[in-house]
Amino acid sequence: MSRERLEELWARLLAGQELTPEEQRELVAGLDAQPALREILLDDAVLDGWLNGLGEAQTSGAAFAEKLRECRAAERDGPRFLKRVESRIAGRRRRGERRGNRPHLLLAALAAGVVVATGLFIAFAPPGRREDPARAQAARKDRLAAIDREREQLAQAEREAVARREEAAAEKARRAKEALEAERERIERDMREAVAKAQEGRPPAPKPPDPAPLSKPAPPPAPAPDVPKERTVTAAAKLTRLEGEAFLLTPDSRRAAKEGDDLLPAWGLETVGAASRAVIGFGDKTLVEVQPETVVRDLKAEGGKRLVVEKGALRAVVSRQPKDQPLVLATPHAEAKVLGTTLRILVDPDPKKGTRLDVEEGRVRLMRLGDQKTVEVLSGHFAVAATGVDLAATALPRTLHVGGASGKKAEDTYVYGFAGFENANFGALGVMKMAAGPQGACALLRFPNLVGSNPGQVPPKSAIHSATLKLHSLSTGPGAPMPIGVYRSLKPWNEGKGNNTPGQRGEATWLAAQKGSLPWEAPGARGRTDRSGDVAVLAAPVDGSGFVTVDVTAAVQAWAGGDANYGFVMDVGQNTGAEYSLSTSEDAAAGNRPLLTVTYTLK
C-alpha cells in the first residue's frame, strides 16, 4: 500500500473523520507493515495533540485556572465543596446536559457520579445507540472507571473533613461514596446479566434508570432482604488484569484466578509460568503488578495497605497514602514502607540474595528484619536487604537514548576514495557508505555533547554498563552478516553540508578530517593516528527489521572517562567486494537514524 494512501487515511483519522471499517483495517494493516512510517505518523499524532492542547489552553486558560482555584478551595472546604457539587447537579439536571457537552469540571464529574450516577450512565449513550449491547457494555465500563476517579476525590474530601473535624461534611462524603458503591454494584450486576443474556442469544431487557434525588445525596442503599450478611466483607482489592495462569490463595483453598476477581482481606495470589502476570488494583488506584512466578499473601487494605511478598517480583505504582498509613510490602527479609511512589521489589528465597528494592519515583523506607536496620531509598536508587550485604541505597542504572527518534541528531557522513570523489563531501545525504580497498569508502558518525553534566548527557566519570549503536542497513538484507568495523575516531572531523559536492574548507573528505587544515594520516581515516583499534566488530548480523547492533561500551566508557569524543569511524572489516550503506540522521524516518543507547550509573 502506498505511503500517500496511508497518509490520506491518517490525516482523515486525526481530523476526526469517520473511516469505513475497510479503510480502518487498511490503515492499521499498512502501518503494522511499515513500522518506520508508523513512527513518523505517531510523531504527527503527538504534534496534532500538542496543537489541540495549546489551542484549548489559549482559549480557556484563564477559565481553567479559575476552575482549579475553585476546586482547590473546595478541597480545603469540605461542606461548601459538597454543597457546590449538589448545586451543580441541580443545574445540570435543569439544563439536561449530555456528556458530549459537559463543561470539563472536576466538580461536574463528581456531581455526575455522586447523585445522578445511574441516570447519567444510561444517558451517556446517544439515543440511537442505546440498543447496541456492545456499546452499552463499553459505556458501563467507562462509567465504572469514572466511579473510581470520583470515589478517590470523595475519599480525599472525607479525609480532609475528618482532619478538620467537620463531621457533617465527612458524613456527606461517606454517604456519597456509598451511593457510588451502590451504583458500581448495580452496573456490575447489569454487566453480568448482559453477558449471560448474550450467551443465551437474547438481548438484555432495557433497564430504566434508577430515580435519583435532585438536590441531596442518595441515602445508603437499603440492604436487600435476600442478601446474606457475609456479603458485607469488603474486597481489599481487585484483580484488574491477568495474563497467563494465576491462582487465588484463600485461607482454605487455591483456585484458578480470573480477571475481575475480588481479592478479600487475607487472600493472596500466585502467578505460575514465565508468561504469567497480574495487576492488583486498590480502590485508591494503587496498582501492584505481580510478575511471573511470584507469590503474594495476606492482602490487607483497611487501616493501611499491606502485602506479603513470599517470592518473585512485583512492581507497584502507589498513590499517595495517608501519612500514618503507609503501604507496607513485607518480604521474608525486609519491610518497605511506601507513602506514594513507583517501585519494584524482587524477592529471592536465598537469604544471601534477599530482597532488592528499586525506587523509580518517590522515596521508600526499607527495614532489614534481621537487625531492624533501615535505609531510605530515594528516587532513582535501589537497596538490597540480605544477609552479609551492606544495607545502603545505590544509584540505579539510567538509560540514555541519543539519535534515532530521540530528537537529538547525530552528525554523520561518509568519505569516498573513488577517483574524482576524494575531495567531495556528503554531509547532507541520508546515506553513508562503507567499501573496502584503496578506492573504498568509510562512514563517520558522532554524537556531540554525549558527555556532560546537563540532563540528556552521560555525566563525566559515570560507569558505563552498556552502550549499543543501532544502525539501519540500506544494502544488506535481513539475516545477512554485515562486515562492519567500528573504531573510535582520533581526529576531529566535520560533517559538512555537501551533497556529493566539492568539500568546503574544514569539511570531511577522503583525504582530510578537516579539508585544508587536518589531513588524515592515511586516506579514508585508515591511519594509526586516525582511528583507534579498541572497538571493532566484524560480521554483525542484520536483524529482521534491517538493523545492525554494535556494542560500543568501551568507546563510550573512554569518552565518559575524559577522552575526546570525536565519534566513530566505520569501515568494512574485510573485503567482500561489496558496498554497504547505512541510514544517516538525515533519513526522513526518524526510526532509521543512528541510535546510541547508553546505560550507566553515576560514580
Partner 1 sequence: MAQADEWVRQAGEGSAESFSRLVLAYQSRVRAYLWAYLRDRDVVEDLAQETFLQACRGLSGYRGESTVGVWLIGIARNLAALYLREKSSRGAREGEFASSALARWLTGRVESDAARLEESERRISALEACIERLPEQSARLVRAFYFERERGADLGRRAGKTEGALWMTLLRIRQALRRCIEGRLGTQSQGAEA
Q: Which of residues 203-222 bind partner 1 (CB under 8 A)?
A: none
Q: Smallest Cα–Cα separation from 237: which of 201, 265, 195?
A: 265
**Residue number, 569 or 598, with CB nearest to partner 1:** 598
Q: Does 149 bind partner 1 (CB under 8 A)?
A: yes
The alpha helices in 115-237, defined as continuous H runs, are 117-124, 133-163, 167-200
Q: Does 196 bind partner 1 (CB under 8 A)?
A: no
Within 10 A of 253 (CB to CB), how many other CB atoms are there?
A: 9
**Residue number, 50 or 250, with CB nearest to partner 1:** 50
Q: Smallest Cα–Cα separation from 583: which of 402, 434, 407, 483?
A: 434
What is the Cα–Cα distance from 170 to 165, expressed in whole angstroms?
A: 8
Total of residues contacting partner 1 (CB under 8 A): 86
Spatial neighbors of 468 by CB under 8 A, at least 6 apart, are: 549, 550, 551, 552, 553, 596, 597
Cβ 148 to partner 1 shortest distance, Å: 8
Q: Which of residues 19-38 bind partner 1 (CB under 8 A)?
A: 19, 21, 23-25, 27-28, 31, 38
Q: Does 141 bind partner 1 (CB under 8 A)?
A: yes
What is the Cα–Cα distance from 273 to 270, expressed in whole angstroms?
A: 10
Helix H or strand E segment including 415: strand 411-416
Binding string, 248-287, against partner 1, x = CB under 8 A? -------------------------------x-----x-x
**Residue number, 220 or 407, with CB nearest to partner 1:** 407
Q: Does 449 bind partner 1 (CB under 8 A)?
A: yes
3 state DSSP class of 405:
coil
Under 8 Å between Cβ of 410 and 445: yes
Q: Does 8 bind partner 1 (CB under 8 A)?
A: yes
Under 8 Å between Cβ of 488 and 474: no
**Grid coordinates in use for 393?**
541505597
Q: Smallest Cα–Cα separation from 193: which of 212, 208, 207, 210?
A: 207
How far is C-alpha 207 from the chain's CA centre? 39
**Residue number, 242 or 385, with CB nearest to partner 1:** 242
Q: Does 387 bind partner 1 (CB under 8 A)?
A: no
Helix H or strand E segment including 249: strand 237-250
Of 106, 155, 463, 474, the residue at the interface with partner 1 (CB under 8 A) is 106
Q: Which of residues 30-89 bind partner 1 (CB under 8 A)?
A: 31, 38, 42-59, 61-62, 64-69, 71-73, 75
**Residue number, 52 or 234, with CB nearest to partner 1:** 52
Stretch binding partner 1 (CB under 8 A), from 167-175, 192-200, 308-316, 449-457? 449-457
Cβ 108 to partner 1 shortest distance, Å: 10
Q: Does 456 bind partner 1 (CB under 8 A)?
A: yes
Cβ 51 to partner 1 shortest distance, Å: 4
Helix H or strand E segment including 74: helix 35-76
Q: Which of residues 343-382 bind partner 1 (CB under 8 A)?
A: 360-361, 379
Q: Does 244 bind partner 1 (CB under 8 A)?
A: no
Stretch binding partner 1 (CB under 8 A), from 10-18, 85-93, 215-223, 523-531? 10-18
What is the Cα–Cα distance from 20 to 333, expressed in whole angstroms?
A: 57
Cβ 511 to partner 1 shortest distance, Å: 26
With cell 506514594, the residue in question is 340
Q: Does 97 bind partner 1 (CB under 8 A)?
A: no
Stretch binding partner 1 (CB under 8 A), from 450-458, 493-501, 523-531, 537-545? 450-458
**Residue number, 260 or 561, with CB nearest to partner 1:** 260
Spatial neighbors of 465 by CB under 8 A, at least 6 apart, are: 397, 553, 599, 600, 601
**Residue number, 349 or 407, with CB nearest to partner 1:** 407
Q: Does 195 bind partner 1 (CB under 8 A)?
A: no
Helix H or strand E segment including 99: none
Of 234, 387, 394, 399, the residue at the interface with partner 1 (CB under 8 A) is 399
What is the Cα–Cα distance from 80 to 82, expressed in whole angstroms?
A: 5
